[in-house]
Structure formats: C-alpha cells, structure tokens
C-alpha cells in the first residue's frame, strides 16, 4: 500500500482535503487564513533574523558620530553635532507622523470599503 497523507474534510462541503491545502478544491472555502511558512528553513531564518535584529538597530546608533561632535569643545564640531542631532529628531518626528497618517489612511480606506459593501 502506498503512503497516504492524512486526509481531512472540508468544514463546509465535507469533501476530503489534504492538510497542505489553503482552499477547498471543491467549494473554494478558505481552510487556512494565515498561510505563514512553518518549514525548518523558514523557522531557522526567522530565529536568526530575530537574533540579529537588535544589532541592526543598535549598531548604527553606536556608530553614529553625532554625539562625539556635539560633546566636542571645538565650536565648529559642536555645531555639526547639534545640527546632526536636530536632523535625527526631525526625522524621528516626520517618520512617526507619516506612520500615524498612513495607519489612519489604511483604517479609513478599509472602513470605506466596508461601508460600500454594506450600502451595496
Ligand atoms: Zn469545501
């Protein structure tokens, strides 16, 4: 007898389905809502990336020369450091503001499509 994969049934139409199916081939029902990979390679990559992610965030900060400039006694270097710090602060504010605007845009457009569906 050949090897058989464990066969389930579609919760909608009760047709036999394979566990790797995302959609029922008979009725099209979604069997899995979040098809994220769970293979060993995908897990290894995620764990490695999680381990090195803080380094990606903190290494550039450690390498940032702005603080050394700002602490300098030399007025020219100090000015450069203060300007660099100002750019970091400004960039942080703009990035945060864009994140808020884009999030609100996304919420607004999904609300609009829900309303359009309801009134259709
Ligand atoms: Zn089905």
Evaluate whether residue 3 is within a structural domain: no
Give a yes or no: residue 53 inside a domain.
Answer: no
Q: How far is the CA of 93 from the centre of ligand 1 (A)?
A: 49
* Distance from the alpha carbon of residue 36 to the mean position of ligand 1, in angstroms: 21
| Mean local confidence (pLDDT), 27-37 | 77
Tally the domains of the chain.
Answer: 2
Q: Are 7 and 16 in contact (CB under 8 A)?
A: yes
Domain with 15 in it: 8-32
The verdict on residue 55 lying in a domain is: no
Specify if 43 maps to a domain: no
Q: What percent of the chain has pLDDT over 90?
A: 22
In a domain, 1, yes or no: no
Look at residue 22 and tell me if it is in a domain. yes
| Residue 120 counted as domain residue | yes
User: How many angstroms separate the alpha carbon of residue 49 from the centre of ligand 1?
Assistant: 37
Output the pLDDT for position 76: 93
**Residue 48 forms part of a structural domain:** no
Tens-digit pLDDT profile for residues 55-104: 887 788 778 888 888 888 999 999 999 999 999 999 989 998 998 888 88
Q: pLDDT at residue 49 above 50?
A: yes
């Amino acid at each position: 007898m050949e090897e058989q994969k464990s066969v389930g049934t579609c919760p909608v139409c009760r047709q036999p389905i394979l566990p790797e199916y995302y959609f029922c081939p008979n009725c099209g029902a979604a069997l899995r809502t979040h098809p994220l990979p769970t293979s060993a390679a995908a897990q290894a990559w995620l764990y490695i990336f999680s381990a090195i992610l803080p380094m990606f965030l903190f290494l550039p900060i450690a390498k940032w020369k702005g603080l050394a400039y700002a602490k300098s006694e030399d007025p020219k270097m100090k000015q450069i450091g203060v300007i660099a710090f100002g750019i970091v602060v400004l960039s942080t504010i703009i990035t945060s503001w864009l994140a808020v605007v884009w999030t609100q845009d996304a919420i607004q457009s999904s609300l609009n499509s829900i309303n359009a569906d309801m009134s259709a």
